[in-house]
Amino acid sequence: MNEGFKITEDIKQEKLPQIKIPTEDPTTHEKKDRALSAIPYSTIKVPEKMTGREKHDMFEAAYAKIVGNEKLEKIAMRAIKGDRGAFPEIINRMTELCLTLSEEEIDSIVRKFHETLRSKESVYATTFDLNREQIMHLRNGTQVINERRRDFLNPIGIKSVARFVRSRLMLHAEKPETIPAFYFENYLDAEHNIDLIEMFERPEGVVMNLVQIKSREYAPQDIKRNIEIHKRWVMGHAVNLSVYERSFEVEPEDSDRYKEFFSEVSHVEDLLVEMLIGEAITTDMLFEKLGLKGVSHAERMWILSTYIDAIKEALVHIEDVGLTEEQSNHIQKVVSDIEMKLQAIHTQKKDLKGVTEIHSICTVADKIVSDTVIFKAEGVDRKAVYVKR
Partner 1 sequence: MEIHRPGEEVKKLPEDPKKIRAIITGRAKALLAKLVQKIKK
Mind giving me the DSSP string for 82-116? T-TTHHHHHHHHHHHHHTTS-HHHHHHHHHHHHHH
Amino acid at 313: E
Q: Are 277 and 327 in contact (CB under 8 A)?
A: no
Residue 129 interacts with partner 1 (CB under 8 A): yes or no: no
Q: Which of 272, 338, 352, 384 binds partner 1 (CB under 8 A)?
A: 272
Residue 261 interacts with partner 1 (CB under 8 A): yes or no: yes
Length reported for the chain: 389
Count residues contacting partner 1 (CB under 8 A)? Answer: 61
Q: Which is nearer to partner 1, 95 or 186 (CB)?
A: 186
Strands (E), the chain: 2-3, 6-8, 18-24, 31-35, 39-40, 142-145, 148-151, 179-183, 196-202, 205-214, 355-364, 367-376, 387-388
Residues in contact with partner 1, shown as a per-residue x/- string from 73 to 112 under the rule CB under 8 A: ----------------------------------------
Angstrom distances, CA of residue 371 to CA of 161, 186, 199, 212, 228: 17, 22, 15, 11, 13
Residue 36 interacts with partner 1 (CB under 8 A): yes or no: yes
Minimum distance, C-beta of residue 21 to partner 1, in the bound complex (Å): 5
CB-based contacts of 236, cutoff 8 Å, min separation 6: 349, 350
Residue 323 interacts with partner 1 (CB under 8 A): yes or no: yes
Residue 8 interacts with partner 1 (CB under 8 A): yes or no: no
Q: Which of 302, 368, 369, 372 binds partner 1 (CB under 8 A)?
A: 302
Residue 269 interacts with partner 1 (CB under 8 A): yes or no: yes
Q: Are 354 and 6 in contact (CB under 8 A)?
A: yes
Residue 277 interacts with partner 1 (CB under 8 A): yes or no: yes
Q: Which of 146, 216, 314, 380 binds partner 1 (CB under 8 A)?
A: 314
- Is 134 buried (19+), middle (13-18) or exposed (0-12) by CB count in 10 A? buried
Nearest CA-CA partner of 289 in 309, 306, 277, 273: 273
Residue 249 interacts with partner 1 (CB under 8 A): yes or no: yes
Q: Which of 183, 222, 382, 387 binds partner 1 (CB under 8 A)?
A: 183
Q: Which of 145, 285, 311, 365 binds partner 1 (CB under 8 A)?
A: 311
Q: Are 34 and 297 in contact (CB under 8 A)?
A: no
Binding residues for partner 1, rule: CB under 8 A, are 3, 5, 19-21, 34-36, 183, 185-188, 191, 197, 233, 236-241, 243-245, 247-251, 255, 257-258, 260-261, 265, 269, 272-273, 276-277, 296-299, 302-303, 306-307, 310-311, 313-315, 318, 321-323, 327, 331, 350
